[in-house]
Amino acid sequence: MTVLPRRRNACERARMRKTLYLLSAASLCGCVAAAPPPPATSGNPIGNPLVDPIPISLALEEIITAGVRQHLKNPIAAKFGTMLAGERKLNGRHEIVACGYVDDKGSTGGNEPFIGNIYPDAGNSFELVAINDVSVIGACKAAGLAMPELKPNS
């Protein structure tokens, strides 16, 4: 008589394993079907996708200003103006693009546009892409961050 309960338990366990296997397979299929579409590209010559604009937190502002100050002739006197930021995934790497203006009294005495990248997956490392270059405003616009035009003497 002890054989029947064991057999019944074995059958129930086998059914449970099959049920769990089928549920696992079905949930995996659901994950594949719900995968997000690949990011759209902006159509600019280098094929970078547009950024999703994000607000600049105090921590992000500190990363940006500290990173830009390292490249200025007079970092202590530098005053930062408008800054915009956006995040994107480029070549599988998460990055935040930051565009803005800095007034470095020690160099040209005016507002200089800059563009830089922050890499959150690499300890929030900052890379200054360009500063005070004619391509900065265009690069920011191509990324989806339209910097306001500065008026002369501002």
Q: Predicted confidence band at 85 (pLDDT cuts at 50, 70, 90)?
A: very high
Q: Which of 24-33, 71-80, 103-112 has the highest mean pLDDT?
A: 71-80
Q: Predicted confidence band at 61 (pLDDT cuts at 50, 70, 90)?
A: very high
Q: Tokens standing for 100?
A: 């803005």
Query: In the block, which residue shows the tokens 């094929």?
Result: 47
- First and final CA of the chain: distance in angstroms? 95
Q: Which residues of 17-37 are buried (b: 16+ CB within 10 A; e: fewer)?
A: eeeeeeeeeeeeeeeeeeeee
Q: In what order do the strands lie in the sheet with 111-119?
A: 52-54, 79-90, 93-103, 111-119, 125-131
